[in-house]
Homo-oligomer: A and B are copies of this chain.
Amino acid sequence: MAKQPNPARRSQRSRQAILTAARELVSEVGYAKLTIEAIATRAGVGKQTIYRWWPSKGAVVLDAFLALSESGPDQDMALPDTGDLKADLRVVMRATVAEFADPAFEGPIRALNTEIINDPALAAQYREKLAGPVDEAKKARLRSAQRAGQLPPDADLDLALELLYGPFYQRWLLRSGPLTPQYADALVDAFLKAMRPDIGGSAH
């Protein structure tokens, strides 16, 4: 009798096949039409194998995205820090805007966002596992700017991230305007102005 393959290794292979299938299918058919059955067929496993590891379709899709971000080294999350805050943020926002203008990239993330918007438990997982660490990396760059005297030391960094990314998030989700490099630059410029300390002379 032939030696059995290592069960842990086989398990790991199945897990990877499921996550890859979920990612491919959510891009191909969209989240609404994605089924656990289709993921199982594409991955070459039984439906029960998927349900043993994940409670829901949303949980599989979230882990499929997490597996993507885990594939690179941790430093991937860090923002560039050349000392020039404006230039660094333009690089980051131009790259972000370009990614979300690409249907192949943004499709699965749109699907995931739809679930997160409607499922507070999935939203909490998403914040803990993905959005939280990414936001920390962004705040690390803003803190560096604070130490360099380029942002006020008492700036609310949660609000700061919302000011920079919120307008873009809305435009992307609602498809309400073009996602261009010029738009990325305009967001960075507006953000830096909004973050300037109030030097008297209110705007009203």
List B contacts of A191 (CB < 8 A).
Answer: 194
Query: A204–B118 contact, CB under 8 A?
Result: no
A117: contacting residue among B150, B165, B174, CB under 8 A: B174
Q: A190-B194, A202-B192 are in contact. Are A118 and B32 (CB under 8 A)?
A: yes
In the assembled complex, the Cα of A177 lies from the Cα of B203 at a distance in Å of 26
In the assembled complex, the Cα of A171 lies from the Cα of B165 at a distance in Å of 11
In the assembled complex, the Cα of A150 lies from the Cα of B168 at a distance in Å of 25
Q: A117-B110, A118-B110, A168-B166 are in contact. Are A190 and B123 (CB under 8 A)?
A: no
List B contacts of A113 (CB < 8 A).
Answer: 117, 173
In the assembled complex, the Cα of A148 lies from the Cα of B130 at a distance in Å of 45
List residues 97-125 of chain A with CB under 8 A from any CB of chain B: 110, 113-114, 116-118, 120, 123
List B contacts of A194 (CB < 8 A).
Answer: 163, 190-191, 193-194
Query: A118–B114 contact, CB under 8 A?
Result: yes
Query: B174–A159 contact, CB under 8 A?
Result: no
List residues 155-199 of chain A with CB under 8 A from any CB of chain B: 156, 158-159, 162-163, 165-171, 173-177, 186, 189-196, 198
- CB proximity of A36 to chain B, nearest CB, Å: 17
Interfacial residues, chain A to chain B (CB-CB below 8 A): 30-32, 84-87, 110, 113-114, 116-118, 120, 123, 127, 131, 150-151, 156, 158-159, 162-163, 165-171, 173-177, 186, 189-196, 198, 202-204
9 smallest beta-carbon distances between A and B, as pairs: A166-B167, A86-B204, A192-B203, A194-B194, A162-B167, A166-B166, A166-B170, A190-B194, A85-B204
